[in-house]
């Protein structure tokens, strides 16, 4: 079950964290994985870890021409995972226009550019699978995450629109909404925004989930594998929350 043999998968932000876990698992399941990254060092390290089943492309997903050129060079895309994203701390009245634009360019325009480039390829080959990484922030209120939450809300509704529009092109589109996941990004985020209080903030963020810890990237990757596999062929237009009970269980 859950074989991706002979599938071509494109994963944005596949050099680290959740994206890396997806890339490693998808390759283990037989896919040829193309990692889309800005961080060449991280991308190269992930490809070296995976081996011949992976390749990387340095690309700014907020630049449509770059994305189209890279995707056309890959030629066939069976699976697209829109995973790359950035975070931001701030409320509506403390978020600068520049920061808002930066988050939207990466978190919303980036996935749109990838959809714009990948969907014609999928239509021409008779179908494909798209998975978008949203967040619990798309559906519940998270303090001081105005721009980030707004961007992930866009991803959630983008997923529904794509699923509806391409039903008859044999293209499935779903999203996943993780809560906090322990990645190098999280460690860096805490260090940058809470210097001197890293351990305290890590513990606080971990315990904000009723299950008592952050998710592991591999746990998110396992859900992604299912949704991108043929076993999920009847699933489209759905968002899957993977949150340790955060959205439904009171801690």
Residues marked active site are found at 148
User: Among positive and negative, which fits the CA dihedral 156, 223, 37, 209?
Assistant: positive
Q: For the chain, count helices (H), then strands (E).
A: 9, 7
Give the three-class secondary structure for 33.
strand
Q: Dihedral of the CA atoms 62, 229, 233, 135 (nearest 10)?
A: -40
CA distance 243 to 241: 6
Which is nearest to 147 in space by CA: 104, 112, 108? Answer: 104
């Amino acid at each position: 079950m859950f074989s991706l043999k002979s599938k071509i998968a494109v994963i944005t932000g596949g050099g680290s964290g959740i994206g890396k876990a997806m890339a490693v698992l998808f390759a283990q399941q037989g896919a040829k994985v193309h990692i889309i990254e800005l961080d060449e060092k991280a991308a190269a390290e992930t490809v070296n870890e995976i081996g011949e089943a992976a390749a990387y492309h340095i690309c700014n997903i907020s630049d449509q021409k770059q994305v189209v050129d890279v995707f056309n060079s890959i030629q066939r895309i069976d699976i697209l995972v829109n995973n790359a994203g950035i975070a931001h701390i701030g409320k509506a009245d403390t978020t600068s226009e520049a920061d808002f634009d930066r988050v939207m360019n990466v978190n919303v325009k980036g996935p749109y550019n990838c959809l714009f480039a990948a969907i014609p390829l999928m239509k021409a080959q008779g179908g494909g699978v798209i998975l978008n990484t949203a967040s619990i922030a798309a559906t519940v209120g998270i303090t001081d995450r105005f721009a980030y939450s707004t961007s992930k809300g866009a991803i959630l509704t983008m997923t529904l629109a794509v699923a509806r529009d391409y039903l008859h092109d044999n293209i499935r589109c779903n999203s996943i909404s993780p809560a906090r996941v322990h990645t190098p990004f999280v460690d860096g985020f805490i260090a940058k925004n809470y210097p001197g209080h890293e351990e305290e903030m890590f513990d606080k963020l971990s315990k904000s989930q009723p299950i008592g810890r952050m998710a592991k990237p591999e746990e998110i990757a396992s859900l992604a594998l299912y949704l991108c596999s043929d076993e999920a062929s009847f699933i489209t237009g759905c968002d899957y929350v993977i949150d340790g009970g955060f959205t439904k269980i009171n801690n």
